[in-house]
Amino acid sequence: MLIRICLILAIIAALAAGTLNVLQVRDKISTLVTDRNTQRDNRAKAEGEREKAKKDLAKTEKDLAQANQELTGAKTEREKAVATAAAQQKRADDLSDKLAKTTQEREDAQAKLAAYEATTMTPDQVGKLSHALKSAQEAIEIANEEKMVLMRTVTRLTNELVKITGNEVYVVKLRADLRGKILVVDPKWDFVVLNIGQNQGVLEDGELLVSRNGKLVAKVVVRSIEKDRCIANVVPGWKLGEVIEGDEVSPAHPAS
């Protein structure tokens, strides 16, 4: 009987030990599964971050290539603008020399005409001198017009050059005596049409002050130019009142 009891106790102890081992093994298996899942999630997260880093690197390289391309284009435009401005300046200098020479020729012709009129010249000779004087005056007027056109071109190219290089504050200066009026107003889109244009010396991106009865109403910036008119947008923050037809405009940054 005692032996049977001992056997039963031994069996119960073995079962208890086996149950404990099973529980411990199950806990270890659960821990291993959790560790495996954590490692798998971390690996997936690391792969996702690596793919994102690859995409960010590719985008950065693309942006850098585009920036280099734009920089090359800007340098090319700057070189073209410098060359064009130099050529226009040379032409303007040549015209100034031509104008000075023509003016001197006109003065010489006037002096000769006065001298000949004091003599006993024939009417035919006087007529020829008058014709020469008239031709010289016409040549001077043409030279003056060409000089004004070239000066406006040089100013426009200089402004474009400053805009491209970005070395200075981009301010377009307009003729100090430039004056005009508003012909059309579009209050929905805040743009106006002015009765002045390229022939009067208006330049693109030039700023004009709008006034009425000597009081400031708004400021506009030129966006499109034609020969005798231009289109300008009202500058945000500068609209002190409603712009109407007939309002006067003058340069915000007059050239000295």
pLDDT of residue 79: 81
Could you report the per-residue pLDDT of 54-80, keeping only the tens digit for each? 887 888 888 788 877 877 877 888 888
pLDDT of residue 147: 62
Indicate the pLDDT class of residue 171, thresholds 50, 70 and 90. confident
Could you report the per-residue pLDDT of 104-153, keeping only the tens digit for each? 888 877 777 776 666 655 666 666 666 766 776 776 777 666 666 666 66
CA 155/CA 175 separation, integer angstroms: 11
144: its two tokens: 């003056």
pLDDT of residue 144: 64
The mean pLDDT of 172-186, rounded to a whole number, is 92
Better-predicted residue by pLDDT, 198 or 220: 220
Task: Label each residue of 216-230 as H, E or C.
Answer: EEEEEEEEEECCCCE
The mean pLDDT of 75-92, rounded to a whole number, is 81
The CATH number of 180-251, from 2.40.10, 1.20.120, 1.10.3470, 3.20.20, is 2.40.10
| E strand segments, 179-253 | 180-186, 191-194, 207-212, 215-225, 230-234, 248-251
Considering the entire predicted model, what is its pTM? Answer: 0.42
Per-domain boundaries in the chain:
1-164, 180-251
